[in-house]
Chain A
């Protein structure tokens, strides 16, 4: 791939982060260019979800070293809402239920916050309803869910569809999907994957965090990274995911610890 011609969207350099004084990220390096799809795999507790939350700006994590650049912006200087308005989107592993807050109202307020930054016209209630109807088709979601409280009483699959709906409305430049496939049956997985594929463009980038090869059958990544102990241990093409499916993570961690010993 001729990287010099494509635009660098995200650049993570030697990122270290703690939660409650416990180091979770220990020097992550990652570059994501426009038009690319990256998959990050790894055992539970390897730091995948933390990386995604740190990029989105979760206040529970303390950055102890390194930088995150998003286009020309230093993300670590920005609040979560500012990052979102720039075009960073995090699809949550466990979308939060917010009783009493209407899903439609939530979607409208967030869409307008992003549109305002993009210097697009604000959508009033009626315009937004038309806009959202179009986007519902992408995730094949029942419009009845718009009138409920945010994620309240949604099944696992409905919550994930709602995440992809938000992605469709916000039109992010970088979408990080944290285990969007977990808890989905095969049909729902296909719908969600088709939505992600539809929303990926040559000007945007996607990072998929997943445990399973089956999502990568539906969405083909350019790169697969393996994380362990808060670092990216290995990066390769999509064939790495197949190899992991067959042989697990032991062999990679083995190679890596051998390397460290030799050094």
Chain B
């Protein structure tokens, strides 16, 4: 297993660009880690055969971009909107709205360091792969009191490995609505790392749509550092990947921040979709509201692992985590696990998990009004997804994700 990793590392180009030092760190970690192993708790449910395939893919090249991306499915950009496409270029040239600017290389050096207590870089496979092979960074800073909005589109080139990295800094009291869209293509793999720093009183509404197709895979990590009085809301949707793993990690560095994490994963065929979240409270009076939903159809598999850490200094933490799951096929599988580590003694930490099928009483109610059973099931599934989709930034509507999901489930 280790040799496969070493072989892969050997054929990578020499470290280069603003992320050169990061590449060295990532390569060193991977040398020690090798491929993920079944006996490790974080990977025991993962289909490791599909992971092995990822390192066999060549890296995506920027000069191949125009020929290998299918843009037909992309909705138009709204008149006053801004879309940045991560097209495997090393420099992104886009007209940014007032209030958002590119970070300078000096700024980047100062803020890029990931290591805070939520992430053990040396033991983090997805992050290490990204660091090892990625030399492209989109680094943005949002300032001012006016609310900004932004769409970042991350396509994949067919039959390649597509790494990308985003560094996003929100200054004091800055507000942003961010829609991040990751699209998979035939036999591609996408690995995106987004790092977010939220300064005092800033607010980020983060929508993440991850749509794969045709045997594509996804690793995506979101590392969020929150200062006091900041608000972070995430609504993340995963659908259609042969294998995907989304790892949101939130670090409330001094507590007293608000975090809301909503996730929805919809799997069909033989897909395996996973969310491994971690929220780490590092000071008092932090808040977390987390809702994770999954729908598993056919012979697919959905996984959720929700870790919450409340150390001694995080008194008066108020956290709740709910995992609600729908199994709509006898051969489908759902694994869901809360993982609460609470040391502080004056906290509220609630958690719960349910797995069910479509409710017979709900179906009968709809059918008793003349709605046929297929249409009734579709209405119920739509309703189930809507609870998360409705919270996405408005710009997400153009992507018509609900229709795509239902279409795929009805196949």
Interface residues of A (CB under 8 A from B): 56-60, 79-81, 83-85, 89-90, 92, 95-96, 98-101, 105-106, 109-110, 113-114, 117, 149, 166, 170
Question: If the complex has contacts A59-B364, A109-B375, are A100 and B370 also in contact, measured as CB distance less than 8 A?
Answer: no
B42-50, B119-127, B349-357, B383-391 - interface stretch? B383-391
Question: If the complex has contacts A92-B365, A101-B382, are A81 and B360 also in contact, measured as CB distance less than 8 A?
Answer: no
Partner among B361, B364, B375 whose Cβ is within 8 Å of the Cβ of A80 = B364
Chain B residue nearest to A116 (CB atoms) is: B370
Chain A: minimal CB distance from B406 (Å): 13
Contact A80 B383, beta carbon cutoff 8 Å: no
Asked if B307 is an interface residue, CB under 8 A from chain A, the answer is no
Contact A81 B383, beta carbon cutoff 8 Å: no
Query: Which chain B residues (324-363) contact chain A, with CB distance < 8 Å?
Result: 359-362
Report how far A101 CA is from B361 CA in the complex, Å. 15
Contact A80 B367, beta carbon cutoff 8 Å: yes
Chain B: minimal CB distance from A106 (Å): 7
Chain A: minimal CB distance from B325 (Å): 15
Asked if B112 is an interface residue, CB under 8 A from chain A, the answer is no
B369 proximity list for chain A (CB < 8 A)? 81, 84, 106, 110, 113, 166, 170
Interface residues of B (CB under 8 A from A): 359-362, 364-373, 375-376, 379-380, 382-387
Question: If the complex has contacts A100-B382, A100-B386, A101-B380, are A106 and B366 also in contact, measured as CB distance less than 8 A?
Answer: yes
Partner among B373, B382, B385 whose Cβ is within 8 Å of the Cβ of A81 = B373
Contact A100 B365, beta carbon cutoff 8 Å: no
Report how far A84 CA is from B366 CA in the complex, Å. 10
14 examples of A-B residue contacts, CB within 8 angstroms: A59-B360, A60-B360, A80-B368, A81-B371, A96-B365, A98-B365, A98-B366, A99-B384, A100-B384, A101-B380, A109-B371, A109-B375, A110-B369, A170-B369
Partner among A58, A95, A98, A109 whose Cβ is within 8 Å of the Cβ of B380 = A98
Chain A: minimal CB distance from B49 (Å): 36
Question: If the complex has contacts A106-B379, A109-B379, A149-B383, are A98 and B362 also in contact, measured as CB distance less than 8 A?
Answer: yes
Chain B residue nearest to A86 (CB atoms) is: B370
Chain B residue nearest to A152 (CB atoms) is: B383
Chain A: minimal CB distance from B378 (Å): 10
Report how far A100 CA is from B365 CA in the complex, Å. 15
Partner among B371, B382, B384, B386 whose Cβ is within 8 Å of the Cβ of A110 = B371
Chain B residue nearest to A84 (CB atoms) is: B370
A90 proximity list for chain B (CB < 8 A)? 368
Report how far A27 CA is from B240 CA in the complex, Å. 52
Chain B residue nearest to A87 (CB atoms) is: B370
Report how far A60 CA is from B359 CA in the complex, Å. 12
Main secondary structure of the interface of B (DSSP, over half): helix
B370 proximity list for chain A (CB < 8 A)? 81, 84-85, 110, 113-114, 117, 170
Report how far A109 CA is from B374 CA in the complex, Å. 13
B384 proximity list for chain A (CB < 8 A)? 99-100
A100 proximity list for chain B (CB < 8 A)? 382-387
Contact B371 A113, beta carbon cutoff 8 Å: yes
B371 proximity list for chain A (CB < 8 A)? 81, 109-110, 113
Report how far A99 CA is from B369 CA in the complex, Å. 17
Given contacts A100-B386, A105-B379, A110-B369, 7 further A-B contacts (CB under 8 A): A83-B368, A92-B368, A95-B365, A98-B380, A101-B382, A109-B379, A113-B372
Report how far A79 CA is from B368 CA in the complex, Å. 9
Chain A: minimal CB distance from B364 (Å): 6
B364 proximity list for chain A (CB < 8 A)? 58-59, 80
A98 proximity list for chain B (CB < 8 A)? 362, 365-366, 379-380, 383
Chain B: minimal CB distance from A136 (Å): 17
Report how far A92 CA is from B362 CA in the complex, Å. 12
Contact A81 B372, beta carbon cutoff 8 Å: yes
Question: If the complex has contacts A79-B373, A101-B380, A101-B382, are A56 and B387 also in contact, measured as CB distance less than 8 A?
Answer: no
A57 proximity list for chain B (CB < 8 A)? 367-368
Report how far A125 CA is from B372 CA in the complex, Å. 20
A79 proximity list for chain B (CB < 8 A)? 367, 372-373
B375 proximity list for chain A (CB < 8 A)? 109
Among A59, A96, A100, A113, chain B packs the most CB atoms within 10 A around the CB of A100
A56 proximity list for chain B (CB < 8 A)? 368
Chain A: minimal CB distance from B4 (Å): 44
Chain A: minimal CB distance from B401 (Å): 15
Contact A99 B368, beta carbon cutoff 8 Å: no
Report how far A114 CA is from B370 CA in the complex, Å. 6
Report how far A81 CA is from B368 CA in the complex, Å. 5
A101 proximity list for chain B (CB < 8 A)? 379-380, 382-383, 386
Chain A residue nearest to B388 (CB atoms) is: A100
A96 proximity list for chain B (CB < 8 A)? 359, 361-362, 365
Chain B: minimal CB distance from A151 (Å): 9
B387 proximity list for chain A (CB < 8 A)? 99-100
Chain B: minimal CB distance from A19 (Å): 13
Report how far A90 CA is from B370 CA in the complex, Å. 11
Chain B: minimal CB distance from A60 (Å): 7
A83 proximity list for chain B (CB < 8 A)? 368
Contact A99 B367, beta carbon cutoff 8 Å: no
Contact A84 B383, beta carbon cutoff 8 Å: no
Report how far A149 CA is from B361 CA in the complex, Å. 16
Report how far A136 CA is from B368 CA in the complex, Å. 21
Chain A: minimal CB distance from B140 (Å): 34
Report how far A170 CA is from B366 CA in the complex, Å. 13
Chain B residue nearest to A113 (CB atoms) is: B370
Report how far A105 CA is from B382 CA in the complex, Å. 12
